[in-house]
Amino acid sequence: MTATTSKPLPQSEATPLGQQLRGLLAFLGSQEFILALGIVLLSLAVYADNPRFGAERNLLSILSNSAYIAVAALGMTVVIITGNIDISVAALLGVLGTIAGQLAVHDYPIWLAWLAPIVFGILIELFIGFLVAYLRIPAIVATLGMMSVLKGGLIFVTGGAWIYDLPKGFFLAQRQPLGIPMPIYFMFALTLLMAIWMRYSATGRAIYAVGGNREAARLSGISEKRILMTVFGINGLMVGISTILFATQFTTIQSTVPPGVELTIITAAVIGGVSILGGSGTVIGAMLGAILIRTIQSGMIFVNVSAYWLQAVQGLLILLTVLVDIFRRRRQMSAIGK
């Protein structure tokens, strides 16, 4: 829905009822609704085949495992909305996790170990933002370079040693207030905050404006550079929080870059309906995208897809989701065009 707010709706003398109907239709046609429907239908299909899938514990596992991807995908979505991309997130995740673990293991206060990844995440992403906004290096190049630097630097500094014997209080993600794993609270709360902020704050709207039409945004007095810095800063914040959820889940921290995570995060954002060309997309879609990916992964185990075909089926389902989004978008465009 937010996807199209930047475009004026066709003028019509619709009655309140007509407007409501139109609103309902817009909602039913939104990528968020389609994704939510996809998650539910897929879950039901798997559940019909293997009822154990529907157990509360399993559903909570899926959500909990989606959380760090979802939170990172929130930041990624905002970056992609401005027409940029960040492929260094996985490397950053590895670096920040190591920083947090090293602080915790060297008897610094726990809150510092939690805060550090956020602060460093923001700083590093602001640096990327600086490269992109002020030095005019395309984001894909800047982050490709940063990925190398972070990945190599991490091994160079740590030698790849794992971090053991973390203090008990460090494991934030293992806590389960009210029987629900902590990462789930983070995922929903952050998504909600981001969704509200993107929709109602001036900066949020400016982000869409920059992604939608740079020139028009500039003419209307929006500083593109400032917006880009903000966007990468937010991404850093999200990667920082995502790191905490990721790193405090395990008893040991692996001082390496988790393989292929950047692709999972970008995929979550993309199937969440963010347009890679910029200008549209929602954070709720990104969260649902992350959940859908995990549901597919988990569901396939439950319906006994051969392990050799797991990846292919996953790729196929992702392709289908993307195509649905494309067709939906096209129909909306032509409806507006009329």
Partner 1 sequence: MLKKSVVALVLVAMLLTPVLAAPLKAANDAPSRMLLGQDDLPTNPLACPGEEEAMEEPAATEEAEEVVEYNGGQPVDAPDLAGQDIRVLDLPKLIGIAYFAATTKGLNEAAEELGNMEIITDAPTEASVDDQITFIENYVTQGIDVIAFASNDPVAISPALRNALEQGVHVIGFDADSEPDAREWFVNQATFNGMAKAMVDSMVEEVGADGSVAIITSSLTAPNQNRWISEMLAYADKCYPDLNWLETVPSEEDQQLAFQRAQELVNKYGEDLDGIFAMSSVAGPGAADALTQMGVCDQTITVGISTPNQMRPFIENGCAPKVVLWNPIDLGYATAYVIRAVIDGELLPGATEVEAGRLGTLPVINGSEILLGPPTVFTQENINDFDF
Partner 2 sequence: MTTQEAPQERSNLQLSIRNAFLGQEGVLVVIMVIAVIVLSFTSENFLTVDNLLNQARLMTEVGLIALPMTYIIITGGIDLSVGSIFGFSAVMLGWLWKEQSFPLEAAILASIVIGTLSGLLNALFIVYVRVPPIIMTLATLALYRGMAYGISQARSARGYPDWFFQFGQRDFLGIPTQIWFLIVASIFAWILLARTPFGRGIYAIGNNEIGARFSGIPVNRYLLFIYVFAGFMSAVAAFLFTSRVSTTRADSGTGMELDVIAAVVLGGTSIVGGSGTIHGTLLGLVLLQLLKNGLSLSGVKGDATIVVIGVVLILSILINNYIQKRFRQ
Kindly tell me which of 61 and 213 has the beta carbon lying closer to partner 1.
61
- Of 244, 284, 236, give the one whose Cα is nearest residue 86: 236
Cross-strand partners of 253:
163
- The SS3 assignment for 163 reads strand
| Among the listed residues 137, 225, 302, 329, the single contact to partner 1 using CB under 8 A | 302
With binding defined as CB under 8 A, does residue 313 bind partner 1?
yes
- Out of partner 2, partner 1, none, what residue 252 binds, judged by CB under 5 to 8 A for its kind, is partner 1
Minimum CB distance to partner 1, residue 301 (Å) = 5
Identity at 127, one-letter amino acid code = F
- Of 255, 286, 230, give the one whose Cα is nearest residue 93: 255
Kindly tell me which of 49 and 192 has the beta carbon lying closer to partner 1.
49
Q: Kindly report the number of other CB atoms within 10 A of residue 299's CB atom.
A: 23
Q: Kindly report the number of other CB atoms within 10 A of residue 222's CB atom.
A: 19
Kindly tell me which of 9 and 161 has the beta carbon lying closer to partner 1.
161
Stretch that binds partner 1, among 16-24, 26-34, 130-138, 243-251 (CB under 8 A): 243-251
Size of the site for partner 2 (CB under 8 A): 45
Q: Which of the residues 230 through 269 are near partner 2 (CB under 8 A)? A: 263, 266-267
The residue with tokens 């979505």 is: 77
Q: How far are the Cα atoms of 22, 25, 312, 322 from residue 326, in angstroms, in the given order?
A: 21, 17, 21, 6
Q: How far are the Cα atoms of 78, 87, 271 from residue 276, in angstroms, in the given order?
A: 11, 13, 11
Q: Which of the residues 137 through 156 are near partner 2 (CB under 8 A)? A: 137-138, 140-142, 144-149, 151-156
Residues of this chain that interact with partner 1 (CB under 8 A) are 50, 52-53, 55, 57-58, 61, 65, 151-152, 155, 158-162, 164, 174, 246, 249-252, 254-259, 294, 297-298, 300-310, 312-313, 316
